[in-house]
Amino acid sequence: MKVKIIEKTHELDLEDEINEFIAKKNPNILAMHYQVAMTFSSELEYSFSCLIEYEDK
C-alpha cells in the first residue's frame, strides 16, 4: 500500500490535482480521506487536503 497527500488552499484546485493524480497513475484506490482546516491570522485561510491510500496496478 502507498499513500499520497495533496493539500491546496482552494477546493477546486484540490479537485483538479486529485483528478490529475488518478489520470496519471491509474491507481487502485483503497480509501480517500478528505479534511478542511481553517486558520485566522490577519484573514481567514482554508486548507483542503486529501489522503489517498492506493496500490499501483
Architecture of domain 2-55: 2-Layer Sandwich (3.30)
Per-residue model confidence (pLDDT) at position 57: 80
The pLDDT of 8-34, averaged and rounded, is 97
Per-residue model confidence (pLDDT) at position 9: 95
Per-residue model confidence (pLDDT) at position 41: 86
Cα dihedral across residues 24, 47, 49, 15: positive or negative: negative
Per-residue model confidence (pLDDT) at position 17: 98
How far are the Cα atoms of 3, 12, 13, 19, 36 from residue 48, in angstroms, in the given order? 17, 9, 9, 15, 5
Per-residue model confidence (pLDDT) at position 2: 97
Where along the chain do its domains lie? 2-55
